[in-house]
Amino acid sequence: YPVDRAAGDENNSMELIQQYLENYYNLGKDVKPFVRRRDSGPVVEKIREMQKFLGLEVTGKVDSDTLEMMRRPRCGVPDVGD
């Protein structure tokens, strides 16, 4: 089947989000892949934490502002944790 572009983009974004939260917000690597429709859980909590730290609207959802921020060049040192 032709690759469903939207699904492909969605997969990329989910991978980007998972990677970003693991790299900079101490999301455990064993946490289940990101489930978009849930309103709570570790990933949503980490999204909130990231949005708060970087001065974004804290929604717990991956809106375009949040995705855009994740794509901006940055320092490789984590934002929280040890």
Partner 1 sequence: FTTFPGMPKWRKTHLTYRIMNYTPDLPRDAVDSAIEKALNVWKEVTPLTFSRTDEGEADIKISFAVRDHGDFNPFDGPGNVLGHAYPPGPGIYGDAHFDDDEQWTRDTSGTNLFLVAAHELGHSLGLFHSADPSALMYPVYNVLADLARFHLSQDDVNGIQSLYGRPPSDSSNDPVVPTESVPPGPGTPAACDPTLSFDAISTLRGEILFFKDRHFWRKSLRTLEPGFYLISSFWPSLPSGLDAAYEETSKDIVFIFKGNQFWAMKGTEVQAGYPKGIHTLGFPPTVRKIDAAVFDKEKKKTYFFVEDKYWRFDEKRQSMEPGFPKQIAEDFPGVDSKVNAAFEAFGFYYFFNGSSQLEFDPNAKKVTHVLKSNSWLNC
Give the type of residue at 59. Answer: T
Whole-angstrom Cα distance, residue 19 to residue 25?
10
Q: Is residue 53 involved in binding partner 1 (CB under 8 A)? A: yes
- The residue (of 38 and 74) whose beta carbon lies closer to partner 1 is 74
Q: Which stretch binds partner 1 (CB under 8 A): 1-9, 34-42, 57-65, 69-77?
A: 69-77
Sign, CA torsion 13/66/62/35 = positive
Minimal distance, residue 44 CB to partner 1, in Å? 20
Among residues 17, 21, 24, 44, which is the contact residue for partner 1, using CB under 8 A?
Answer: 24
Whole-angstrom Cα distance, residue 65 to residue 69?
6
Whole-angstrom Cα distance, residue 65 to residue 61?
10
- Which residues here bind partner 1, judged by CB under 8 A? 24, 52-55, 69, 71-79, 81-82
